[in-house]
Amino acid sequence: MGAATFNLFASLLSGIGMFVALFILARWATVTDPEILRILLSSSRYRAQYDPAKREAHSERQ
């Protein structure tokens, strides 16, 4: 992302700034919850268990 920002703005300072900002964000996320980055990166492989946008009929037990 830092390289993309560098190429977009043609500024070394913007590339370094983006790299530092993302680095600090990643460090904060892993300090808060050490497994969060692994969960986020692997979440695209698994099917959603619950989708609130889907309307499915359900039966009520009596």
Q: pLDDT (tens digit, 9 = 90+) per residue, 32-54?
A: 887 877 877 787 776 666 666 77
Indicate yes or no: pTM above 0.75. no
Residue 7 to residue 11: CA distance in whole angstroms = 7
One-letter amino acid of 37? L
- Nearest-5° angle of CA 38, CA 36, CA 15? 85
For residues 19 and 35, is the Cβ–Cβ distance under 8 A?
Answer: no
- Cα 40 to chain centroid distance, Å, stands at 6
Does the pLDDT value for residue 62 go beyond 60?
no
For residues 22 and 15, is the Cβ–Cβ distance under 8 A?
Answer: no
pLDDT recorded at residue 20? 92
